[in-house]
Each structure stands twice: as structure tokens, then as C-alpha cells.
Structure 1
Amino acid sequence: MRTPRFVAVITLALASLTLPVMATASAAPTDRISIAATPTDQLRPDGAGVQIVNGERTTVKEYPFVIAGMRVGGGGPQGQSCTASVVGKRKILTAAHCMVDATGAKSYIYGDDDLNTPGDETFRTAVASFKTHPGYTGSGGWRTGNDVAVVTTVDDLPVPENQWAKVAGSADGALTQPGKSGTSVGYGKTSSGGGSGELRKTTLPVNDPSTCQVFDIRVNGDLMVCTGYNDGRTANCSGDSGGPFIVDGVIVGVSSWGSSKCDRYSIMARLTNAMGDWARTEIGGNPPGDGKFAVALAPAAGKAEPGKHVSTSVTTTAGDQGPEKLDLSASALPAGTTATFQPSSTVNSGEVAKLTLETSASTPAGTYKVTVTAKGASGTKTAEYTLTVVDGGTTNGPKLSVSPNSGTVPPGGYANATITVTGGTGSVRLSGAGLPNPPTFSPQTVKPGGSSRMTVMGPYQRGTYKVTITATDTAGKTGTTEYTLTVR
């Protein structure tokens, strides 16, 4: 009897991708058993296979409810860890293991098609609270099912109500019958050892769960949906966890687990049952409006130094009369402050605009109430933004922040983080110490308020290293911060 070849246990995070079927592709050997792993961001490339899980790039414009799940210490770009879906004003649907099994403070970034280029996002918010399905048994509970959670955010999400994701329930069982196919969307890796952070999509068939018993745990068809192929021609991978699996425009499952090499079936937490009913109850409804359009700001407050800027998202929602043209404006601005709407100050209700408030060097410090007005054929609506202008505080030299502030790599591996500089005089030069090979910065010199991408290489000796990052301005004043690198 042949001995089964086991795949190394690794926690992974899905990135839905599509690979054209190769002429040499064939079904996985029947004697190979894969050890199941969660699709979070902790997949390691050790022992990775040669198959590439490739996919098709997509955009937030195409899937306006998709949002990136971040955590302190996350392994993806900017700390990306999971993928999720906006399902309410402050509600997000994701996998339970993204909230319970993955450590580190959680937040969400919206509006970015590629997390490898910081600053493209429309919006970022923290987690206020979350609820996992009552049947989820805690860390490792994804093995038995019920891997779904509803997250409540601190701020209103900049997604119009008519673009919130629709969630399946027990009346939608036909959507997960074998023979159906759906789309999986996520920010995950393109292979078990490949890059991540780009939003991608792939088409996956729904399979009879009895044909998917190729893992060391059972695929429970009552609580799980088995999707994809046994030869891994296209699959979810590290970073896609919690992302949506969509059939006929409805989310019927969230990415839950699969093979640690991303080379076999992708298993989704099933929502076409009581789990979906539970999620719908937790998401809740919205109070009725007045039949007209609505306007909101997310976030509704922000800070800026004199001569700097701050941005917010202006979210509009169509009323019962349908979409209408809206003219946006901002009033009650502090002295020397300008307001710019992007891509335009004219939108259709249901669309989102970015509002940037830019102060001047002479804008007095203080707190101001800025009124944002949307005027349409059915009437006028307003929302209030609290702008706090703070003292520049450059006399003490530059200040640094690093995100994420820690990383884990194999010996000789690389990790990235974003360094943001505030304060200081003139140009600020970055340097680092604490490793055999000093960090590299791109760019190495930034202006106050700017950012740089830091790359660190792990030593070949395992252990924990403290990297000291120093910023020196043209006046010779310095500021420092620390980054923790773990090599294991």
C-alpha cells in the first residue's frame, strides 16, 4: 500500500484567481490526502508546489461591496489578512476564523484595487464589534463548520445601500446545488508562495461534497460548499479568507478553508441554510427614509495640520424615485481652506465622491463644522464634517509611524511595511539599523506628510529582531520608531 503524501499544515488566506486549464493538467492522485488549512494570511511557502493559481484582475467598481480585511501583523500588503463583503451601513460579512483564529487588531480598507500601492484606498475604519455564528466552536472551529461572522464597524461604510451585497438564506438552497457555478473574489495570493494584494476573481463550479473528501477532515455538505477542481487549476489561496462566493448575484458562501498548497478544492462556509438566516438577522434592516435621496460622510471627522489635507467619502443613496443628479458643495470652511470633490462635484444619487479639505499654512488651529450639501431635483440634504486643524508641531523634529509594526518571515525572507512621516523641516531621510542587512526604503527621502515602502530581509538565524527606523530632517533633527521582525 502506498503511503499518503501529506501537505504541510499552514494557515492560509484566499485570493480568488483563474488559471487557464493547461494541457498537462490532470486530476490529483487518489492516494494523496491534503491536510486542511484555513485561508487566512499566514500561509508559508515551505514545500510549495509548482502549480500556479492564476487569476483575472478585477476592480472595486465591478464588485463595490468587496472590502479588504487588515490586522496588525498581517502577512499581506499593508497588513492584509482576509477579504470581506459590505452588507450594511456599518456591517461586514466575513469568516469567523478571520476574527477569532487570526490575532492582531482588525480594521478594513475600502476602495483599493491593489494594496501594494498604499494611499489608493477610499476609506479605512476599525472594528467596533463582531459576532460569530453560535455554532462556531472557537479557534479551529472552521474544521467543523459555521465559519461565518458579522462585523460592526466604527464608521459608516462608503458603499451606497443599493450596492450592498445580497446574502443567501435557507430558501436559496438551489443556488448551491452541484452543477451551479459562481464567482469567488479576494485579495489573496496568486500561489502558495506568490504575491498578493491585488483584487482578483475566478469562476468555480459547485461540487457534490461526496466527491470532495480528499482532506484529513470531512467536507460537511450541510454546513460547507465544495467548489473548484481537484487539480487546483484555479483556487482560492492565502488572503482570500472570508471573501464572497457569488452565485446569480447572491453571496451563497464565504471562503473558509482548503489545501495548504492552494492546489485542490476551495471550501466555503454555506449560507443557503440556517447560517444565512442567522447572518441576515445579525445584519438587520434599515429604518425607512423619507422617499428622497440621502447623503452621509465616512468618516465624519478628521484632523489636518496647517498646509496639509484630509479626505472623507461622500456617500449618496438613491431614494424611492430612483437615481437623480446631485450637485455637491461644502460651506463653513475655515480661513484659507479649499474643498475639492473627486471625480466631480456632480454625481448621481447612489454614487460616492471623495471630498478633500486642504488647509493653508495660515489656517488657524481649531475645530470647525463643515457643511456638505447635496442638491437634487427632489430637494436638498446636508451632512456635517468636523474638521480639527492642529498645530504643525515641527519644532521637535519628524515623527514616524510604521504599518504594520511587525512581520514574520522564514530565514532569508522579505517583509514590507509602510513608513509615514509627519512633522519635521524640509526633506526627511530614512535609515534603519538592527539587522545584518539594513532595510531599504523606496523612496529613501520624503517630505513631511509623505510615506515610503520599507523592505527588510530576515537573517538566516531564527529569532526576534528589533529594527530601529530613524528619520532625519534638513535641520538635523531626528525621530525614531521600531519594527519587530520574527524569523522562524
Structure 2
Amino acid sequence: MFASITLKGAALLRRVEQSKRVGRRIRVALTALLLPLVVGSAASVDSPENGSVAESRIVGGVPASTADHPWMAALTTPNGDLYCGGALVAPDKVVTAAHCLVLPSEQGVRVKSRTDVRVVVGRTDLRTTEGVQAGVRSIWVHPRYSSFVEGEDVAVITLDRRIDAPTATLVGHGDERLYSPGTPATTMGWGRTSENGATSATLRSLDLPMIADADCARSYPEYDPAAMVCAGYLEGGRDACAGDSGGPLIVEGRVVGLVSWGDGCAREGSPGVYTRLLEYRSLLAHQTGV
């Protein structure tokens, strides 16, 4: 389990662990929801004492650049602390995971205040000021969202300004083949470099295959193939991690999924679970205009 969660986070974690569907698993996405992930200095990113080496960022990834992925977005706190990713799909619309934009409440979850979120686009190295930082005009979270393991882990941020950058292409109706087992996919982000390691100051990407629903269901009894898709390696070693939540899963140039949850990071038999965006395509069209 990751260290240092807040008291509210600990209470939510207890409630989630008591859930019949969640059982005893500890979720990466829960940590990303509860604990903002501060991008450290270059020394902290590469330090073996932090359980991380240069080759292991995003857990097994390689360097990536916003020059090649200009639509890649980082979600930060007002102080600039990274906690999630997203994809710019229209000049003022970012698609991300619902769990990145909610907080625990007595009723279950509540949507964060728009003043609590900043969106950065076009910044490969989060220690710099390159690219554009935008505020938030409004936040839409799927109305049925209650927990990432229940599905509906999708949200749309409307920015307070239009960003002049190429946008990502969302999966379209008729693109079911993109979810076929073995299909090559890519995910990316600035998240933790290992399960207990530091975040990466620079963008990283990881190529990984789509996984059959039956294989994913064997790893996760709560897996819902109507709302989720798995990608990764059953032998472990390469995976998205906390801080990558909400970031895109890309197949053939289309965003087909969002980093959602999993059991630890890069563990054997525990591939990453992603929001299956095709399931929400009509809703996303209404929210984004694309």
C-alpha cells in the first residue's frame, strides 16, 4: 500500500475495502485520487533510494515529448503539483478520469471545485514553464460515477480559454476492433516511476498490448467489460502508475481508454484497467462537441 494518505483518504479507503466488489485489493487510482503527486527535482526522480532509475519511469517506459503529443495534458493543483493526466480533444475540452475530479463526501463523492484544478498542455518537462496553463470553467463527471471499480470513470473539463494546439482524436462508433486482444496500444504520463517511487518530471510513454476480457476478469473479479478494458503484461514489469490516472490509452491514433485503476503498479498478474471510452462515446460527443 502507498504511504501517507490523509485522514479523509483513510476513511474512504476503509469504506472501499469493505465494498463487496472491491474486497481486499488496494487500487492505484485510489491513491491518485487521495494524494497529489509532487514532481520532484531531477535528483529525486532518478535516485535509486526512491526505488526509481532512469529506465523505469511510468514503470518500464521511454521518453516522450509533447512535440509529438501536443494534446497531452497534465492536471495539477493550484500550486503546480501533478496528480493526473488527460487529453485535449477540443480547444477547450480535456477528457480525463472521473476519479481525478471528485472528493469523498458523506454522500459518497462530490465534484471538486473548478478553482482546485489547473490544466497544463504542451509541457514535456513539468519543471519548466513551456506550453500553456489554463484554469477551469466547468467540470462534468459521469452522473453515475461512484467508484472506479464500478465503472463510469470518465469526466470532461471545460477550460477557461481555448488552446491553440492539435487535439487528440477520440475512439469512434464502429471502432470495436481497436479493443481486440493483442492490439498494440500506448499510454503516457508523468506518474510514479515505480509503485513506491517518485513521479517523473518529464513525460514518458509505454507501448503495451490490449488484454482479453477473460484474462482481465481472472485478475479482477470486479472487472466489467462493458465499462473497462485491460492493457499491459500479465507477467508484470511494465504499467501505468499513480499520477498517470486519467491519461490516454491510444490505439491507431485514437484515444480508446483512460488510465483508471489496478492492483499496485506493474505487478505480475495485475494489468492496468482503463475506462472503455467507446461505451461513453455519445455522452462525450455531447460534452465535447467532437
TM-score normalised by L of structure 2: 0.75
> Which residue in 2 is equivalent to 1:299?
none
- Asked if 1 retains the 8 angstrom alpha-carbon contact of 2:168 and 2:255, the reply is yes
Instruction: Name which of 266, 273, 288 aligns with 1:283.
Output: 288
Q: Which has the larger radius of gyration?
A: 1
Aligned to 1:71: 77
* 1:35 aligned onto 2:32: no
1:302-317 equivalence runs, <5 A:
none
| Corresponding position: 1:147 with 2:148 | no
Name the amino acid aligned to 1:118.
Answer: T
Report the alpha carbon displacement of residue 202 of structure 1 after superposing the two structures with TM: 0.5
| Contact in 1 for aligned 2:28/2:241 (Cα 8 Å) | no
Does 2:119 align with 1:108? yes
Residues of 2 paired with 1:43 and 1:111: CA distance? 21
Percent of pairs identical after alignment? 29
Higher relative contact order (CA 8 A, sep 6+): 2
Gaps in structure 2 of 5+ consecutive residues: 6-23, 38-49, 105-111
1:166 maps to 2:169: yes
**Correspondence for 1:85 among 84, 87, 112:** 87
CA offset at residue 209 of structure 1? 2.0
User: TM-score, length-normalised on structure 1?
Assistant: 0.46
**2:251 is aligned with 1:247:** yes
Match of 1:231, SS state, is coil
Q: Which digits, 9 at most, give the CA deviation of each residue in 1:417-465, with x for residues without a partner?
A: xxxxxxxxxxxxxxxxxxxxxxxxxxxxxxxxxxxxxxxxxxxxxxxxx
Alignment of 1:77-476 (within 5 A): 78-101=80-103, 105-115=116-126, 117-119=127-129, 121-137=130-146, 141-159=147-165, 163-196=166-199, 197-213=201-217, 218-263=222-267, 264-273=270-279, 275-285=280-290
Question: Does the CA-based 8 Å contact 2:91-2:163 persist in structure 1?
Answer: yes
How far, CA to CA, are the matches of 1:259 and 1:151 in structure 2? 27
Task: Indicate if the aligned counterparts of 1:224 and 1:269 stay in contact, CA closer than 8 A.
Answer: yes
Distance 1:222 1:190 in 2: 30
Deviation at 1:249, TM superposition (A): 0.7
Distance change in 2, residues 1:223/1:82 (3 Å) = same
Structure 1 residue runs of 4 or more that deviate by more than 3 Å after TM superposition = 7-11, 48-52, 101-104, 213-217
Instruction: Name the structure with the higher strand share.
Output: 1
Is the 2:74–2:82 contact (alpha carbons within 8 Å) kept by the matching residues of 1? Answer: yes
- 1-structure distance, mates of 2:287, 2:28: 27
Tell whether the 8 Å contact from 1:170 to 1:271 is kept in structure 2 after alignment: no
| Aligned mates of 1:9, 1:34 — CA distance in 2 | 15
Q: Secondary structure at the match of 1:134?
A: coil
Offset at 1:156?
1.1
Q: Are the equivalent residues in 2 in contact too, given 1:204–1:227 (CA < 8 A)?
A: yes
Whole-Å separation in 1 of the counterparts to 2:220 and 2:174: 31
Kindly state the Cα deviation for residue 194 of structure 1 after the two structures are TM-superposed: 2.0
Instruction: Tell me how far apart the structure 2 counterparts of residues 101 and 230 of structure 1 sit (CA, whole Å).
Output: 31
Relative to total residues, which structure has the larger helix share, 1 or 2?
2
> Does the Cα contact within 8 Å between 1:36 and 1:258 map onto a contact in 2?
yes
Deviation at 1:50, TM superposition (A): 9.3
**Distance between the aligned counterparts of 2:184 and 2:86, measured in 1?**
20
| Cα offset, 1:37, TM superposition | 3.2
